[in-house]
Structure 1
Amino acid sequence: MVSALGMAAVLGGCGIGSGGSDGVTLRLVAADYGDSESTGSQRYWDELAESYESGHPDVDVEVTVYSWNDVDRKVREMVDAGDAPDLAQIGAYADYADEGLLYRADDLLSIPTQADFVPQLAAAGRVNGVQYGMPFAASTRVLFYNRTLFAEAGLSAPRSWADLAAAAEALKADGVAYPYALPLGPEEAQAETMQWMLSGGGGYTDATGTYSIDSPENTAAFTWLKENLVDKDLTGPVPPAKLNRADAFAAFAKGEVGMLNGHPSLMAMAEKQGVKYGMVPTPGADGPSGSTLGVTDWMTAFKKNGHAEEAGAFLDFVYDDENVLDFSRRYDLLPVTGSASETMAAAEEDQDLKPFLDELLTSELYPVGETSWAAVSAQIKKEIGKAVAPGADPGAVLRLLQTAASRADDAS
């Protein structure tokens, strides 16, 4: 998920839709990207629906906003109860597509809207070449570093693994608690894991889309990570297997972390606490990584209620540049459309997001089109921290994860 926090709320009676419809109500379930009532996504959807209502009085949209802790489960419960919403903005789509429950994107969207999606994001929303998942919000990862701590240690930003290890050694010598924060705890270990795999030339899957978790490249990356950072006590007082991403971010915002991989929301956290930070592309084995992790959340449209025309008309409005940019700027996220991305890249007000935007075109996403991914991701969160534990064999842990992934893939 791109973000996680929020509240449950319901917005009702907002007119949307297309001419020729009569008394249709669209139900939308959405995830909350805010961290308080004042910043919650209810406000965004409320304003969006109100704006749309004046020109489209024939259809009502009822929007229910849930926190990221609840939204995927709530939608699954609704679907299992035979009460699927018309639209759901959630974290995954492949299971529903596999069950034949979703409209194809080209059954809903106008050609210009569908063609405007960022290619990597659109491709990740396809199953067997058909797009069912419509990207809604995106982010990438870069390496954040504490500029004050680096200046005190006489360091420049790292470009390679060797640079990163040397910087971590110097930061430790200066008494920094977390020279490099390595969150392989159960909250979001699949993200940090993929970052390290990509920086070593690997990834979760090979060129054919087959799981390759125990590839030589991945094994080399985790062996290097264990031997050069973890075993040398350069990753802080909390064992990586128990360090969650949220805790690592909070420690960075307190000035306790020298370096970590982060997404755009970390900027506001650090600025709020007065931490001066820099951002560079993820260091790789021999220089900047050729690819970084990209993450997107999804808009889906269920066929249950048969409102393809009304849902499509509303989604064309949702993906209008003005609305995409509004959402992205509110929550420090990246636009999912090419035209909005071009606008953001050129806008002075968005320069803080440019490092992330620059990474988007070369980013790689989780294998979200695989129905097995949810099970594989859960297993990675549970087990990957063991790969860098004292006395562990990283290759053996990756082989166990590969076996579990192959079984999950066969089962799906």
Structure 2
Amino acid sequence: MHKRILPVVALGAAATLGLAACAGDGAATGGAVDGEGQELTVWIMKGTNPDATAFYDEVSSAFEDETGATVKIEEIQWADAHDRFVTSIAGGTTPDIAETGTTWTAEFADAGALEPLDEYVDAEDGLRDDLVEGLAVAGTYDEELYGMPWYAGVRSIVYRTDVFEELGLEAPKTWDDIVTAGEAIKAAKPDMLPFPVAGDAEFQVYPWVWGAGGEVATLDGETWTSELDSDESQAGIEFYTGLATEHGFSSAGATTWKETDLRDSFTQGNVAMMLSGSWTPKALIEANPELEGKIGAAVIPGEDGGIAPSVLGGSHLSVFNTTENADLAWEFVKLMTTGEFAEQWADETGYFPGVQSAMEEALASTDPLVAPFAQQMVEGGASVPVTPNFGAVQAKKTTNSMIQAILGGQKDVATATKDAAVEMTELLNK
């Protein structure tokens, strides 16, 4: 059976994932578990929430009131986290619970380190249908849920509203609109890059592949095939790289840019349009208060309109199978990822919650720097191929190398995409 891997978020439709409930060693409970005298160890990534100490105190207190158990929360650096997880899995010293990035959950599940969560999710009334689908898909491996959706962010178009207003432009709704706006900006403001193409930013590429009807990779049985060289994918990549090579909206220096370089240049007033995450507008304004009121956001359009899918990034909370009380661990996961604490974490971090019920405020927002991202997440959030081997693709920088070869003139689109597809297919099937 040919399985298409492009899970666009549809809130309230997570039941269509067909995840099989699987009985575990402990009984799932709809209420609190007696954890008197027990302590859970939790690893959370440092930096996502700069005000985390007060939050941790509140959630720990609430958890102890509810279960009688205490919790030890340890913050670890993203840069060190993967190696630390691998070492702890090998040594059997994993925490009870940990934040796992969406591209790591499948890897750790494949290593046999995680507890399946379907039994617990399905025991909570309505929770399965409340999960954000893109996060649930990313947390699913071999038809079992190992990562409970916690928070997410998505990339959309961020642009200079003052420049658009000055030139009588509107936020782009098609690819042609992007070109039209870019040409006007290029003519009126030659010192500003209309839409730079960052060559070392993988997640900037895939919206154009999907927006043209292409795929990154598909699964048929147990075999992955990259489709970066399909006609549709090539059309999307041709358009994206053409913003630089054909229209001159970028610069030679941007060939090696990461997303952080894009944001820095935008903050300095040198960029008119870019793809950026829902978590960045606040940081951009904090870095340069003069940008207050001059930044807008818009969904990434498909080629002829609508919304192009964008990579849904974020984190899960996972329970490791070294825990002595999986039921108690689930109670903490549930407390963190649903209800008031899910909403509080989202408010403090600038990300979106992983459940629909906690996203109601964002979905109803009229804030021009919130509403477009919320719409992008709901109607156009997608996942990269869910396989432990996708990390090898990222480590090899298959997609980035493809884009840089096109931008640098070493390869045309047809050759670069074919070479990348061959390499990606090989890596995904190792």
Q: What TM-score comes out, normalization by structure 2 length?
A: 0.82
**Aligned equivalent of 2:207:** 195
Contact 2:206–2:311 (8 Å) recurs in 1 = yes
**Aligned equivalent of 2:324:** 306
2:428 alignment partner, one of 396, 402, 409: 409
Secondary structure in 1 matching 2:274: strand
Contact 1:200–1:289 (8 Å) recurs in 2 = no
1:230 alignment partner, one of 228, 245, 256: 245
Out of 43-52 and 293-302, give the one that drifted further. 43-52
Structure 1 pair 176–123 and aligned structure 2 pair: CA distance change class (3 A): same
Contact 2:99–2:318 (8 Å) recurs in 1 = yes
**Aligned equivalent of 1:243:** 257
1:370 alignment partner, one of 381, 384, 387: 387
Aligned residues: CA RMSD? 2.4
Gaps of 5+ in 1: 1-16
CA drift at 1:368 = 5.0
Residue identity in the other structure for 2:208: W
Contact 2:34–2:67 (8 Å) recurs in 1 = no
CA drift at 1:80 = 2.1
Residue identity in the other structure for 2:138: A
Structure 1 pair 32–130 and aligned structure 2 pair: CA distance change class (3 A): same
Structure 1 pair 257–288 and aligned structure 2 pair: CA distance change class (3 A): farther
Size of the aligned set, in residue pairs, is: 386
Contact 2:307–2:376 (8 Å) recurs in 1 = no
**Aligned equivalent of 2:411:** 392
**2:383 aligned with 1:383, yes or no?**
no
Out of 366-375 and 93-102, give the one that drifted further. 366-375
Contact 1:198–1:289 (8 Å) recurs in 2 = no
Separation (CA, whole Å) in 2 of partners of 1:352 and 1:226: 27
Show the 5 A alignment for 1:207-218: 210-218=225-233
Sequence identity (%): 22
Q: What TM-score comes out, normalization by structure 1 length?
A: 0.86
**Aligned equivalent of 1:75:** 85
CA drift at 1:144 = 1.1
CA drift at 1:328 = 0.7
Structure 1 pair 43–373 and aligned structure 2 pair: CA distance change class (3 A): farther
Separation (CA, whole Å) in 1 of partners of 2:338 and 2:243: 47
Secondary structure in 2 matching 1:297: strand
CA drift at 1:56 = 2.9
**Aligned equivalent of 1:182:** 197
**2:100 aligned with 1:104, yes or no?**
no
Structure 1 pair 244–43 and aligned structure 2 pair: CA distance change class (3 A): farther
Separation (CA, whole Å) in 2 of partners of 1:96 and 1:53: 28
CA drift at 1:290 = 4.0
Residue identity in the other structure for 1:244: K
Structure 1 pair 34–283 and aligned structure 2 pair: CA distance change class (3 A): same
Show the 5 A alignment for 1:163-174: 163-173=177-187, 174=189
Secondary structure in 1 matching 2:354: coil
User: 1:200-236: per-residue Cα shift (whole Å, max 9, x none)?
Assistant: 2223124857432222111112223333433443113
Gaps of 5+ in 2: 1-30
1:56 alignment partner, one of 67, 72, 76: 67
Residue identity in the other structure for 1:280: A
CA drift at 1:341 = 1.6
CA drift at 1:300 = 1.2
**2:84 aligned with 1:65, yes or no?**
no
**2:292 aligned with 1:281, yes or no?**
no
CA drift at 1:338 = 1.4
Bigger relative CO (Cα 8 Å, ≥ 6 apart): 2
Contact 2:197–2:240 (8 Å) recurs in 1 = no
**2:139 aligned with 1:129, yes or no?**
no
CA drift at 1:54 = 3.0
Separation (CA, whole Å) in 1 of partners of 2:328 and 2:296: 45
User: 1:296-340: per-residue Cα shift (whole Å, max 9, x none)?
Assistant: 312111111332011011112112311111011111111110111
Separation (CA, whole Å) in 1 of partners of 2:362 and 2:204: 27
